[in-house]
Amino acid sequence: MSRKPFTLIELLTAMAIIAILAAMVLGVSAVVSRNMMEARTKARLEAMMMALQEHFQDRGYYPQPSTAGATIEVDFSVAPFDQFWHSQTERPYLEDTKIKDFSGDDETRYLDGWGREAFRYQLHSTEGYRLWSYGADKKSGTTEEKQDDICSWKQR
């Protein structure tokens, strides 16, 4: 009994099916990856919000930027966030802020889900504080294409 070779149409059909399946897998993995990064950023934002609340309960005020109403990058090695290492309970307000940099030294940084130092903080006299991450596009904004910012006022 002799076997017939595959026809060109059968080979092209099989390749098309494989290509469609591969595209579906890649598309789904991109969505899952983005959702995971957003979830990680939201969790870190929640942890920072809890740390800010503990700071407020201990000291009676939120960290003050040097200029009133200014938007500042959250950097735990400089004021006003360096006080997060000295709480009234002798433990830092925010754990897990030490990460290794490329030189192997510990640095005090807090990264969003995309691995960037992209958290911003603003203190308002009437509303308390605002804390946010720029999101996947690395840009702050509220236009339709920039709706990916992850904000404390959307979390509450």
Domain limits, the chain: 38-155
In this predicted structure, which of 17-31, 53-67, 138-152 has the lowest mean pLDDT?
A: 138-152
- 8 A C-beta contact, residue 63 and residue 94: no
Report pLDDT for 155.
60
Across the range 35-53, mean pLDDT stands at: 88
**β-strand partners of 13:** none
| pLDDT, average across residues 1-20 | 89
CATH fold of 38-155 reads Glycoprotein, Type 4 Pilin (3.30.700)
What integer pLDDT is reported at residue 64 of this predicted model?
A: 78
CB 105 within 8 A of CB 99: no
Q: What is the pLDDT of residue 20?
A: 96
30 or 153: which leads in pLDDT: 30
| Tokens of residue 58, six digits | 């201990």
* Average pLDDT value for residue range 86-110: 61
Closest CA to 78 of 66, 87, 67: 66
Q: How many Cα atoms sit within 13 Å of 60 on the Cβ side? A: 0
pLDDT at residue 140 is higher than 60: yes
Cα angle: 29, vertex 145, 110; to 5 degrees: 65
Above 70 in pLDDT, residue 40? yes
Banded pLDDT at 115 (limits 50, 70, 90): confident
CA dist., res. 134 & res. 138, Å (int):
5
C-beta neighbour count of 58 within 10 angstroms: 14
Phi, psi of 151 (to 5 degrees): -120, 145
Top-confidence range, 27-31, 66-70, 84-88, 122-126 = 27-31
Residue 149's pLDDT is 81
pTM: 0.68
